[in-house]
């Protein structure tokens, strides 16, 4: 009997190994059979071995793969247990993200959303197909220029709050007897606290000061929500059903519940007391009632024609993903922007001249139009986004059979539903064919005249096509306000702790960050 059991087990094991070998053979030779250039995969980890073991940042990996596929229009790569095609050609990127968008409407699967937390299911980033389209159409009126202008004053209050804090902290360095002459800060932590406060007031209607009160609950829960461990991300990519079965959440359930309760309680209070505040939560409440307008006094026809009103889960989901998407990405841009300004004093001085002019004309209270009209500030931010985009790649999932065009170097590929596409943002942004001397910080690339010369679909820090970041206006307004208020009173400079030259941190699996920390000096301007 024991021999029979052993025989059965041995047969099952051999069968499983043969099935695994057959799967691996099909998987690993897919692109060779298609006649495409490709990077050979490592079992389970594909071409992301360096990221999985914190040896290489995702941004560096994207650039490496992008360069290896030169001069081909596209090539094959492997992300864990998934094969994908990296598109290098700008014209094909245009076709996929815009012209033939109906074949690539979705992001690639990461979480089995239908079995996930009910709030997680409703996040705009996760939704697919018609559900995504209807939600996007419903929410779009919340992000018009007029709505952003209404939230401008909330952001300027945080800008002034930041200045007051820094003025107090740097005051000691003005004392002649003090041996040190500059306040040294880790800028990613500093800016993360500011973006936390911006989102708290403009999205959730909560007033906090995370610089003066560093351990406040809103900030602590925000850090917990946005901290995603690399191993959790890998396991969700490889074994999503198993992770859900084991009850291991992708987002912290404690943080999710905290933000859900904040949204729920704030809505209840506002409805009972008739409170109206010009923030994102008010706009989501309007969308919930079907009252959201695209501009002043004008209903958004597309939104009302869908006849879809948001549920409480919908409202909480969008508020939470708004926090998740903005908490880290905006602080990342601000961090790299300040680092580059510290390294390039002549750029910083020119920017401060523009800021001083705005502050003088406005009496220290710049308007929405004045801030958004700062041309050199816009150039500096645009160049920062080119060099260090928060997301190293865009992804799309094929939803209908599609033929990638044949080129001089690629034979053409028939895509099937659920095939994944990668668009290497960081690779294209650092391609000298599109941006000469890509490692050089040159805001002049983005003068009004030079912007016209940039090849279309070679610059997309916020995405491309209908799935471009819905909060792009909000993010840019926030970045401009924070940088304007900072530069109006202070200068940033390289100090002994500043890591020079800049290297990307391979241990950060979610976003791009500076290895060794973004340590800079902050000095009051004389």
Residues belonging to the binding site for heme are 469
Q: At what angle do helices 345-362 and 472-489 cross, to 10 degrees?
A: 90
For the record, the structure tokens of 38 come out as: 């490709």
CA 186 to chain centre: 21
Work out whether the CA dihedral 493, 494, 498, 501 comes out positive or negative.
positive
Q: Tell me phi and psi for residue 186, to 5 degrees.
A: -85, 110
Strand partners, 82: 79
How far apart are alpha carbons 484 and 474 in whole angstroms?
A: 15
Q: Which residues contact 211 (CB under 8 A, 6 or more apart)?
A: 161, 162, 165, 190, 193, 194, 197
Which of 490, 485, 498 has its CA nearest to residue 170? 490
Could you list the residues known to form a binding site, using ranges.
469
Beta bridge partners of 84: 77, 420
Q: SS3 string of 333-402?
A: HHHHHHHHHHHCHHHHHHHHHHHHHHHHHHCCCCCHHHHHCCHHHHHHHHHHHHHCCCCCCEEEECCCCE
Strand stretches in 216-326, DSSP E? 293-295, 298-299
CA-based nearest residue to 315, from 352, 339, 290? 290
Burial label for 118, CB within 10 Å (0-12, 13-18, 19+), is exposed
- Residue pair 391/332 in contact by the 8 Å Cβ criterion: no
Distance of alpha carbon 484 from alpha carbon 156, whole angstroms: 10
Q: For the chain, report the end-to-end CA distance as a whole number of angstroms.
A: 90
**Listed residue (482, 204, 197) closest to 321, CA to CA:** 204
518: left (phi over 0), alpha (psi -120 to 50) or beta: beta
Q: Tell me how far apart the alpha carbons of residues 359 and 381 are, in angstroms, rounded to a whole number.
A: 19
Residues in the chain: 526
Structure tokens at 249: 């959440």
């Amino acid at each position: 009997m024991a021999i029979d059991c052993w025989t059965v087990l041995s047969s099952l094991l051999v069968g499983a190994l043969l099935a695994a070998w057959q799967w691996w053979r099909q998987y690993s030779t897919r692109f060779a059979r298609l006649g495409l250039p490709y990077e050979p995969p490592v079992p389970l980890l594909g071409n992301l071995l360096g990221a999985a073991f914190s040896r290489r940042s995702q941004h560096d990996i994207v650039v490496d793969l992008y360069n290896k596929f030169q001069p081909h229009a596209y090539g094959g790569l492997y992300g864990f247990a998934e094969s994908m095609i990296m598109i290098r050609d700008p014209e094909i990127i245009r076709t996929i993200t815009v012209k033939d968008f109906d074949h690539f409407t979705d992001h690639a699967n990461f979480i089995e959303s239908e079995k996930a937390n009910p709030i997680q299911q409703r996040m705009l980033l996760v939704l697919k197909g018609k559900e995504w389209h209807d939600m996007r159409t419903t929410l779009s009126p919340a992000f018009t220029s007029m709505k952003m202008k209404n939230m401008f004053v909330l952001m300027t209050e945080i800008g002034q709050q930041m200045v007051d804090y820094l003025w107090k902290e740097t005051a000691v360095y003005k004392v002649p007897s003090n041996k040190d002459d500059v306040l040294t800060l880790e800028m990613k932590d500093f800016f993360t606290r500011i973006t936390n406060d911006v989102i708290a007031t403009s999205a959730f209607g909560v007033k906090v000061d995370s610089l003066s009160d560093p351990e406040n609950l809103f900030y602590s829960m925000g850090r917990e929500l946005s901290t995603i461990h690399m191993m959790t991300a890998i396991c969700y990519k490889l074994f999503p059903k198993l992770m859900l079965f084991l009850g291991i959440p992708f987002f912290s359930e404690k943080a999710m519940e905290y933000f859900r309760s904040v949204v729920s309680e704030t809505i209840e209070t506002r409805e009972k007391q008739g409170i109206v505040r010009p923030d994102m939560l008010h706009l989501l409440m309007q969308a919930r009632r079907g009252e959201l307008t695209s501009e002043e006094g004008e209903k958004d026809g597309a939104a009302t024609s869908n006849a879809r009103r948001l549920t409480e889960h919908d409202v909480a989901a969008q508020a939470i993903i708004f926090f998740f998407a903005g908490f880290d990405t905006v602080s990342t841009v601000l961090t790299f922007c300040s680092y580059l300004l510290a390294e390039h004093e002549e750029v910083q001085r020119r920017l401060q001249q523009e800021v001083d002019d705005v502050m003088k004309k406005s009496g220290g209270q710049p308007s929405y139009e004045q801030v958004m009209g700062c041309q050199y500030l816009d150039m500096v931010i645009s160049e920062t986004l080119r060099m260090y985009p928060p997301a190293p790649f865009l992804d799309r999932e094929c939803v209908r059979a599609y033929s990638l065009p044949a080129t001089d170097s690629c034979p053409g590929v028939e895509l099937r539903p659920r095939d994944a596409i990668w668009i290497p943002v960081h690779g294209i942004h650092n391609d000298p064919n599109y941006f000469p001397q890509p490692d050089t910080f040159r805001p002049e690339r983005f003068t009004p005249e030079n912007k016209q010369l940039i090849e279309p679909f070679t610059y997309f820090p916020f995405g491309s096509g209908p799935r471009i970041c819905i909060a792009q206006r909000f993010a840019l307004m926030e970045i401009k306000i924070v940088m304007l208020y900072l530069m109006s009173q202070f200068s940033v400079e390289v100090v002994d702790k500043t890591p020079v030259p800049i290297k990307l941190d391979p241990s950060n699996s979610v976003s791009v960050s500076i290895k060794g920390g973004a340590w800079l000096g902050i000095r009051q301007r004389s």
